[in-house]
């Protein structure tokens, strides 16, 4: 028999259901998907913070993106960060961002670990995006501490505790961008969570060693420090920007033992990449290599002519065969670049 809406409301069932949290269930599927254990994330040595390429109207260029991901897989990268700082996640709407995570999993999830940057300085947004990211199959989440709208130590722990139960998680400490260092006691307080994979750490070797001595997994977030962090301070690997350009060489740097000569050879490229805030250098370089269109979402603008000339020389010094793409590196003219504000 049918029951009238009125009788249900009068019994208070709807009203009660709306306010009790006991029956709340996370947005989860019972299907066995490509669930990855936290250990499956902890073992990754080369993770690329991949660039998001654009079409001239500012939408994603998925054809170019797919080619970039294939190049990463062939170059030996074991994971990709989708929509990180390098991938300009902060310039995406959440629907674009989740779509790109889902697309990456759908096309490449069997061959590379897909780590979605679903962090936010709003806990609500971080929770919602992370829930959606895992629902579309990402293998792990990257979470930054709340930037700009900074919180207390207790607030940091509470923020991370909201997202940790959802799946494997890498916490990201980059005080130069957040203007707040995540202190070691916070990481230690969270290390008991089975989903805590480790930390992408940008503070330097001593901090890395402080964690690795305690058995906490660390990825260097600085390309110019990753060789020493890996071979001298116990880091597991790197979350790299440079590997967008030279995946094979970054793979060697992380896998083939201490190699000061290779590290030295790569330092001019790394220095060039960060002469302006990331991803300005990378965006310019990939356009010069002809693997992405020279389209920038503002506020990013390309490096100036003299820097582009310098890049062509760096490519020659390291060897064109070590870089992504097939075309000769071009200097490009200023008016080759398209800058867009509506995207």
Dihedral angle of Cα 141, 142, 143, 144, to the nearest 10 degrees:
-170
Domains of the chain by range and CATH? 39-257 (3.20.20.70)
Per the annotation, the verdict on 148 as an active-site residue is no
Q: Report pLDDT for 71.
A: 98
Return the H-helix or E-strand segment holding 8.
Answer: helix 5-10
Q: Which of 83, 84, 79 is nearest to 60 (CA)?
A: 83
Q: pLDDT (tens digit, 9 = 90+) per residue, 11-31? A: 445 555 555 555 556 677 666
Asked whether residue 2 carries a pLDDT value surpassing 80, the answer given is: no
- Average pLDDT score over residue span 275-291: 98
**Active-site residue, selected from the candidate residues 54, 200, 211, 233:** 200
Which of 195 and 7 is assigned the larger pLDDT? Answer: 195
Distance (Å, whole) CA 134 – CA 141: 8
Asked whether residue 165 carries a pLDDT value surpassing 90, the answer given is: yes
Q: Are 303 and 284 in contact (CB under 8 A)?
A: yes
Asked whether residue 35 carries a pLDDT value surpassing 80, the answer given is: no
- Average pLDDT score over residue span 161-173: 98
**Active-site residue, selected from the candidate residues 42, 65, 113, 172:** 172
Q: What's the whole-number average pLDDT of the chain?
A: 94
pLDDT classification of 7: cutoffs 50, 70, 90: very low
Q: Report pLDDT for 205.
A: 98
Q: Report pLDDT for 36.
A: 83
Per the annotation, the verdict on 172 as an active-site residue is yes
- Average pLDDT score over residue span 76-87: 98
Share of the chain above pLDDT 90, in %: 90
Q: Report pLDDT for 8.
A: 47
Return the H-helix or E-strand segment holding 39.
Answer: helix 38-42
Tell how many helices (H) and how many strands (E) occur in the chain.
Answer: 15, 10
Q: Are 319 and 245 in contact (CB under 8 A)?
A: no
- Determine if residue 81 is labeled as part of a ligand binding site: no
280: Cβ–Cβ under 8 A, 6 or more apart, which residues? 300, 301, 302, 303
- Determine if residue 73 is labeled as part of a ligand binding site: no
Pairing of strands 46-49, 237-240: parallel
Distance (Å, whole) CA 128 – CA 117: 12
pLDDT classification of 99: cutoffs 50, 70, 90: very high
Q: Report pLDDT for 20.
A: 54
Q: Indicate the pTM of the whole model.
A: 0.92
């Amino acid at each position: 028999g049918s029951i009238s809406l009125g009788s249900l409301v009068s019994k208070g069932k709807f009203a009660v259901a709306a306010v009790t949290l006991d029956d709340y269930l996370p947005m989860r599927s019972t299907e066995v998907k490509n669930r990855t254990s936290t250990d499956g994330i902890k073992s990754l040595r080369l993770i690329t913070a991949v660039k998001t390429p654009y079409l001239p109207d500012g939408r994603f260029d998925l054809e170019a993106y797919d080619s970039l991901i294939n190049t990463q897989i062939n170059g030996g990268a074991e994971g990709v960060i989708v929509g990180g700082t390098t991938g300009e996640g902060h310039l995406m709407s959440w629907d674009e961002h989740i779509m790109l995570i889902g697309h990456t999993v759908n096309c490449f999830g069997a061959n590379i670990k897909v780590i979605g940057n679903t962090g936010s300085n709003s806990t609500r947004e971080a929770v919602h995006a992370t829930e959606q990211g895992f629902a579309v199959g990402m293998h792990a989440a990257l979470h930054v501490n709340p930037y700009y709208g900074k919180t207390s130590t207790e607030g940091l722990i509470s923020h991370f505790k909201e997202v940790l139960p959802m799946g494997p998680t890498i916490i990201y400490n980059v005080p130069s961008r957040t203007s707040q260092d995540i202190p070691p006691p916070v990481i230690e307080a969270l290390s008991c969570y089975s989903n805590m994979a480790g930390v992408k750490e940008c503070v330097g070797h001593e901090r890395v060693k402080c964690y690795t001595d305690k058995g906490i997994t660390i990825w260097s977030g600085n390309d110019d420090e990753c060789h020493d962090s890996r071979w001298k301070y116990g880091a597991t690997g790197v979350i790299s920007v440079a590997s967008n350009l030279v995946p094979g060489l970054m793979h060697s740097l992380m896998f083939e033992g201490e190699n000061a000569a290779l590290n030295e050879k790569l330092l001019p490229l790394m220095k060039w990449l960060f002469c302006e805030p990331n991803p300005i250098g990378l965006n310019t370089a990939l356009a010069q290599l002809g693997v992405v269109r020279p389209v920038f979402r503002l506020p990013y603008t390309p490096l100036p002519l003299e820097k582009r000339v310098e890049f062509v020389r760096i490519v020659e010094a390291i060897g064109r065969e070590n870089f992504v793409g097939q075309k000769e590196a071009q200097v490009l003219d200023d008016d080759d670049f398209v800058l867009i504000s509506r995207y």
